[in-house]
Amino acid sequence: MVRTSLFYTYHGRLALLKMPRGSASSSRQAAKRKASSSTGTGDEPSAKRSKSSSKVEEGAGSVGAEGQCWLFKSEPETRIEKGVDVKFGIDDLAKEPDQTGCWDGVRNYQARNFMRDRMRIGELGFFYHSNCKEPGIAGIVRIVKEGYTDHTQFDRSDVHYDPKSKKEDPKWFMVDVKLVRKLKRFVPLSELKVIFQKHSKSGGPLAKVALFCSARLSVQPVTQAEFDFIVELSETKKIADN
């Protein structure tokens, strides 16, 4: 007997995965885991007044000791990968038990290292919709389980099976994330790009944001200043693209 409950990533793309009862997915449910210089619009939030981490949700999570937050990419639209629909948007996470899931299937070493070595329980991250009609930041998640072995690397039926990875010395790791909430307003990539270009010249908080400086990574670090700025931005109306 199988059930559809876990999801996996492939370069930032999430999909539903059928796993048998008693598999590695069971532990997930058992633990119930799963600013700046504005240049003319007046709508862009100021870094000095941005205290949006307090607006996330009381008790929802935190930034790390060094102000560390994260961004996780996922595909919200249907796309078939080796016979499996890799669609998994923020609404799909909301439907998961306890609104929680494991971020498995990542096969980039740098992204893996972030999850294995740096992510800590309670840290916050953005849920980012990628490879879709309108990519952008849809909501906020919280890390509820730190890096542990990604079971999909050992599953021959999984698209992320890695024959070179051994159970006694696994290569790939994952974390569990829980949905905190959707943003008040979806923040599209196009809007972030305009601000990034401005801040690259003005020295604003998004001047070195990994979303543009390390665009190919499906899991990316976000500073506290970047996180606060974007949350504050989501509380305002969209900034004009011109």
pLDDT tens digit sequence for 13-35: 343 333 333 343 433 333 333 32
More confident residue, 237 or 162: 162
Q: Position of tokens 């999430």?
A: 14
Residue 41 is predicted with a pLDDT of 37
What backbone phi and psi angles, to 5 degrees, belong to 193?
-65, -40
pLDDT tens digit sequence for 107-160: 999 999 999 999 999 999 999 999 999 999 999 999 999 999 999 999 988 888
pTM of the model: 0.76
Chain centroid to Cα 132, Å, comes to 15
Kindly calculate the radius of gyration of the chain based on its CA atoms and give it in whole angstroms.
18
Helix (H, G, I), strand (E, B) or coil at 156: coil
Residue 215 is predicted with a pLDDT of 84
